[in-house]
Amino acid sequence: MTDRVALITGGAKGIGRGIALDLAAQQWKVALCYRTSETEAEQTARAVTERGGQALAVRCDVSDPAAATALVTQVEQQWGRIDALINGAGPYHRVNLFEESVAGWNEMFDGNLHPVFYLARAVSPGMKSRKSGRIISFSMANADQMISQPDVTAHYIAKAGVLILTRTLAKLLAPYSITVNAISPGFIDSGSAPPEELAGMTKRIPAGYIGTVDDTVAAVRYLLSDEARYVNGANIQISGGWGI
């Protein structure tokens, strides 16, 4: 298929940008969803076009179920279909559980878990009608360990929820030749953390070094390929052995 369409939330920068540029090189049409990073989204959209793809940058708060549904409708009206949904958006903050506010607690679920449900529900009718599609969501490398996380509790629970939702969606959509998988990065140099902070984490990574955006993009490329047509409900860790 040469007329493939991807919707990437959090596609303006970091890992989302890397995925968008990789898809552009394969001549995908890429819809980039962003909430606040307008300048970065416009830059990424231009880079997608320069690499041979087509781009659409849309400001949308996907924590709003109506807005998430409208986003899917807009992309489908623009290009007629969505072949891949990549859930890359996800706010993060570090605060002790007993210092967390109710608003901060809810933000972690509204930003990391709920949009996966809203968007999957919106894209699945079109994918089911075509009997093809890919959904990829991002969790975190140790979210399946169910261990204490005093300073990132809500974020951690939300990311564990992403894994459960991924497996549930995979079971429901597999009869329609749709795959639903998760990618769980560990420490990745995506531009979101200071270099000195990442460097300090190196000693905790069995591989001995920090991962790159390209490491994560390669996993996405595989899951979108025909070679991964029988991979469903999986969780691929991109962590150099950290978190297992």
* Catalytic annotation present for 34: no
CB-facing half-sphere around the CA of 79: CA atoms within 13 A: 21
* Residue of 34, 118, 156, 176 with catalytic role: 156
Q: Where are the alpha helices (DSSP H) in the chain?
A: 14-25, 38-50, 65-79, 102-112, 114-130, 153-173, 195-201, 213-224
**Which domains does the chain possess?**
5-236 (3.40.50.720)
pLDDT tens, per residue, the chain with 244 residues = 568 999 999 999 999 999 999 999 999 999 999 999 999 999 999 999 999 999 999 999 999 999 999 999 999 999 999 999 999 998 889 999 999 999 999 999 999 999 999 999 999 999 999 999 999 999 999 999 999 999 999 999 999 999 999 999 999 999 999 999 999 999 999 987 777 878 888 999 999 999 999 999 999 999 999 999 999 999 999 999 999 8
